[in-house]
Structure 1
Amino acid sequence: MKIIITDAASKWFHDDMGVTAGNGVRFFGKTYGKTAVHSGFSIGLMRDDEPHKPIATTEKDGVNYYVNDRDEWFFKGYDLTVDFDAENDGPKYEYLPNQE
């Protein structure tokens, strides 16, 4: 699994979440909601500077973005691109099939 953070998304994380170099953001699956690839589940995110058994990580502008092993079920078979959605003033997610 790959995580891709666009420049616009990185700016949103810095400006709206207040992350700075050395901080971390964890993506996870949560019940309720809907994504393009899951019904009944949605993606969550939280500031978390201490990854626990990450299965995917990427660094952008000094911030570490990752998914832990306990959320592998949600992302299995997909790469995640995080971009900024100006209409909703927040992140938007694209799930791209991979060869896992």
Structure 2
Amino acid sequence: MKIVLSNDAMAWFKEEMETTSGEYIRFYARYGGSSALHEGFSLGVTKEEPMELSVELIEDNIHFYIEDRDIWYFDDHDLHVNVDSELQELTYSYKK
């Protein structure tokens, strides 16, 4: 599996989360909400250093990653991160 990040998503992280070179952005499974993959769980995002990194994408020296403990959530799908142009919010899609 891999993380695929659009140019708009990269710009969103830099502007909205004030992400800079050398920082880590974690995608994780959180209880609550729903997703295309799991009812009762949704995808969260936070700025934090990895403990047990499983999947990583480095763009502009920013590390986007998923921990080993959250890999089950993706069910062997790639994570595609984009931005809804009207809402200016992140969108996620999952592709095998």
Shorter chain as denominator, the TM-score bin is over 0.9
Q: CA deviation at 1:89?
A: 1.4
Which residue number in structure 1 is paired with residue 45 of structure 2? 45
**1:20-53 superposed Cα distances (whole Å, 9 cap, x missing partner):** 01011000001111111111110000011x2111
SS in 2 for 1:57: strand
Letter of the 1:9 counterpart: A
Partner Cα distance (2:35, 2:3) in 1: 16
Q: TM-score, normalised by structure 2?
A: 0.94
Which residue number in structure 2 is paired with residue 76 of structure 1? 75
Q: CA deviation at 1:84?
A: 1.0
SS in 1 for 2:87: coil
Q: CA deviation at 1:75?
A: 1.4
Equivalent pairs: percent with the same residue? 35
Q: How many residues align?
A: 96
Structure 2 gaps of 5+ residues are none
RMSD over aligned CA atoms reads 0.9
Structure 1 gaps of 5+ residues are none
Q: TM-score, normalised by structure 1?
A: 0.91
Where do 4+ consecutive residues of structure 1 move more than 2 Å?
Answer: none
